[in-house]
């Protein structure tokens, strides 16, 4: 049976306010440095979200989860301080938690409802990956911090948005920085309902309490089966590989304190044969033929 007792993790994350009702519905409100401020996205948020999603998934008293923002925006401001100057700094500040964040969100084994209370232009995937996504009439959706910011798409957005919008619409959305308003997001299937701001949270809680009243095993394992495919594709391709390659390439070229990478060894006959096979779309050539001089 769910309990309203407050676990320690409710107060453990400086940028998240949590509360749970008698039905076992956990309300997760993302905020800024102060609890009444909208999110100004920073490294602290990355760290907090990663840890909080893990703690939420481990707590079996949670029967459903509602995620929302604070004030008039979901996540629409950046507050990162200073530029990262090395791959090591990037790995510590972004990649380490980034690789785990979506995985831990999807590890929450109870229904998750998002109440998008305003613009979601940064980390909008946190909302649209929910089982039910509700949007205020004031909500907008965009991927602002990647291509528009000169960064290769990461955080799983290249998977999430092409899945939601389709390949061509998804690529256009990411490459152009397109902004979807709430009605367009509803038409395209990104969100499930659009409501006036004053009705949004009540409607989200209504959905959550209905789902929390299900048999716990039904609710839990329905969430598991509905996210199985998503958890595989989104977390394995969470976007960290491509930025890492970019950083690694930069480190090899840049003179300074970072040691140059050892030159790659010449490809062996098997690798050369495989490359040619891929180009001509036929079965791999026997590597022995390369050594014998037969084309």
The closest of 235, 247, 239 to 100, measured between CA atoms, is 235
Mean pLDDT computed over 64-90: 86
Tokens of 42: 């920073």
Give yes or no for residue 73 having a pLDDT over 90.
yes
Q: Which two tokens stand for residue 39?
A: 């999110």
Would the pLDDT of 295 be above 70? no
Catalytic option among 125, 163, 193, 206: 125
| pLDDT(165) > 70 | yes
**What are the beta bridge partners of residue 116?**
135
pTM for the model stands at 0.77
Q: Residue 187 has which token pair?
A: 């038409």
Whether pLDDT at 84 is above 60: yes
Domains plus CATH for the chain? 8-247 (3.90.226.10), 267-295 (no CATH)
Cβ atoms < 10 Å from Cβ of 208: 26
Check: CB of residue 244 under 8 Å from CB of residue 95.
yes
What's the pLDDT at 3? Answer: 60
DSSP character at residue 91: I
Q: For position 233, what pLDDT does the model report?
A: 56
pLDDT of residue 2: 60
pLDDT value, residue 43: 83
Task: Give burial (CB, 10 Å; 0-12/13-18/19+) of 116.
Answer: buried
> Is the predicted pLDDT of residue 72 greater than 90, yes or no?
yes
The mean pLDDT of 67-72, rounded to a whole number, is: 97
Q: Is the pLDDT of residue 282 over 90?
A: no
pLDDT higher than 60, residue 60: yes
pLDDT at site 290: 41
For the chain, the average pLDDT equals: 82
Q: How do residues 107-137 score in pLDDT, each as one tens digit?
A: 999 999 999 999 999 999 999 999 999 999 9
Higher pLDDT, 237 or 138: 138
Cβ neighbors of 140 (< 8 A, separation 6 or more) are: 118, 119, 120, 121, 179, 180, 181, 182
Higher per-residue confidence, 213 vs 237: 213
Reported as a single tens digit per residue, the pLDDT across 174-211 is 999 999 999 999 999 999 999 999 999 999 999 999 99
Residue 135's contacts (CB-CB under 8 Å, 6 or more residues apart) are: 116, 182, 185, 186, 191, 193, 194, 195, 200
Over residues 234-277, the pLDDT tens digits come to 544 554 444 444 444 444 444 444 333 344 444 554 444 444 34
125 among known catalytic residues: yes
């Amino acid at each position: 049976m769910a309990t309203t007792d407050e676990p320690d993790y409710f107060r453990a994350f400086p940028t998240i306010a949590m509360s749970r009702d008698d039905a076992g519905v956990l309300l997760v409100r993302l905020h800024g440095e102060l609890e009444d401020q909208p999110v100004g996205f920073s490294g602290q948020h990355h760290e907090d979200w990663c840890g909080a999603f893990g703690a939420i998934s481990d707590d079996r008293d949670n029967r459903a989860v509602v995620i929302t923002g604070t004030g008039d925006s979901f996540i629409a401001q950046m507050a990162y301080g200073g530029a990262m100057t090395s791959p090591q700094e990037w790995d510590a500040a972004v990649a380490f938690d980034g690789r785990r964040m979506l995985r831990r969100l999807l590890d929450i084994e109870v229904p998750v409802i998002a109440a998008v209370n305003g613009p979601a232009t940064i980390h909008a995937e946190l909302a649209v990956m929910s089982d039910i996504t509700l949007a205020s009439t004031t909500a907008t959706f965009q991927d602002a911090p990647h291509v528009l910011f000169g960064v290769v798409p990461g955080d799983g957005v290249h998977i999430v948005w092409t899945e939601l919008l389709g390949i061509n619409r998804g690529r256009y959305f990411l490459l152009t920085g397109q902004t979807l308003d709430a009605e367009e997001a509803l038409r395209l299937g990104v969100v499930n309902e659009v409501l006036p701001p004053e009705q949004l949270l009540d409607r989200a809680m209504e959905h959550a309490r209905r789902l929390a009243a299900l048999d716990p095993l039904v609710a839990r394992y329905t969430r598991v089966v509905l996210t199985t495919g998503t958890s595989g594709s989104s977390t394995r391709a969470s976007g960290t590989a491509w930025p890492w390659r970019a950083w690694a390439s930069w480190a090899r070229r840049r003179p300074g304190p970072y040691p140059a990478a050892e030159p790659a060894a010449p490809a062996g006959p098997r690798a050369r044969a495989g490359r040619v096979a891929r180009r001509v779309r036929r079965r791999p050539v026997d590597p022995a033929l390369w050594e014998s001089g037969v084309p």
